[in-house]
């Protein structure tokens, strides 16, 4: 049961109000995405690109179920205030190491909310003339979307709630939870 799962995680589990997506549901979905990607990118040697650190678990699990040759690389961005992001400000603090011109690039994202961060990064990658550029997102939160981003591979649509687990943090905590959960209100303090 969910109670037993939460109990296993002690103080972390006690902060969780509700499990929205279970570890099994995530595993099954990632497997499906990996199968589709393996078919679509056969003979294309795609470069999977992710933004640290939230994508860590998804990227590792996805790579393990992809059955074709591929490469992986990461970006890191500085976190700005929501106001700064709305003005399109995203500062790269770590760029890709693999040149992507002429390559088939699959951008792998853990969660998309407004889409501002991803929109900026996609423009930056498109400027480098990849052969193709598509997006794979596991958790899509459509409620606050500000820019339209075509999602070729999509896992789950999530309600407009702040979630943690499977790489997603709150103040760097809860990334290690293998499910997606909602924090108790007294833990969140101001987050929605």
Beta carbon of residue 85, minimum distance to ligand 5GP (angstroms, whole number): 6
CA 166 to chain centre: 9
Query: Any alpha helices (H) in 66-184, and if so which ranges?
Result: 82-86, 116-126
| CB atoms closer than 10 angstroms to residue 15 | 21
| Binding region for Mg ion (CB under 5 A) out of 3-11, 27-35, 37-45, 163-171 | 163-171
| Binding region for ligand 5GP (CB under 6 A) out of 3-11, 62-70, 122-130, 160-168 | 160-168
Residue position matching structure tokens 């958790």 = 139
| Binding region for Mg ion (CB under 5 A) out of 48-56, 57-65, 123-131, 144-152 | 48-56
From Mg ion, ligand 5GP, none, interface partner of 115 (C-beta below 5 to 8 A by class): ligand 5GP
| Rounded Cα gap, residues 37 and 48, in angstroms | 11
Under the criterion CB under 6 A, does residue 50 sit at the interface with ligand 5GP? Answer: no
Under the criterion CB under 5 A, does residue 54 sit at the interface with Mg ion? Answer: yes
**Out of 37, 62, 163, 177, which residue is the one contacting ligand 5GP (CB under 6 A)?**
163
- The count of residues interacting with ligand 5GP (CB under 6 A) is 16
- Indicate which residue of 3, 113, 127, 186 is catalytic: 113
**Helix, strand, coil percentages for the chain (3-state, nearest 5):** 35, 30, 40
Query: Exposure string (b/e) for 168-189, b if CB count within 10 Å is 16 or more?
Result: bebeeebbebebbbbbeeebbe
Under the criterion CB under 6 A, does residue 26 sit at the interface with ligand 5GP? Answer: no
Catalytically active residues are 113
């Amino acid at each position: 049961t969910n109670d037993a799962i939460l109990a296993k995680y002690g103080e972390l589990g006690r902060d969780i109000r509700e499990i929205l997506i279970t570890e099994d549901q995530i595993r099954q979905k990632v497997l499906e995405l990996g199968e589709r990607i393996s078919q679509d990118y056969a003979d294309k040697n795609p470069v999977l690109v992710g933004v640290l650190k939230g994508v860590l678990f998804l990227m590792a699990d996805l790579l393990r179920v992809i059955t074709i040759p591929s490469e992986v690389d990461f970006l890191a961005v500085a976190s700005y205030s929501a106001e700064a992001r709305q003005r399109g400000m995203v500062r790269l603090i770590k760029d890709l190491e693999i040149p992507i011109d002429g390559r088939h690039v699959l951008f792998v994202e853990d969660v998309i909310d407004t889409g501002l961060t991803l929109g900026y990064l996609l423009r930056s990658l498109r400027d480098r003339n990849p052969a193709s550029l598509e997006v794979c997102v596991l958790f899509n939160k459509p409620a606050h979307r500000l820019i339209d981003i075509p999602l070729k591979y999509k896992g789950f649509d999530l309600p407009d709630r702040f979630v943690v687990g499977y790489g997603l943090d709150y103040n760097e905590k809860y990334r290690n939870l293998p499910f997606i959960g909602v924090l108790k209100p007294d833990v969140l303090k101001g987050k929605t």
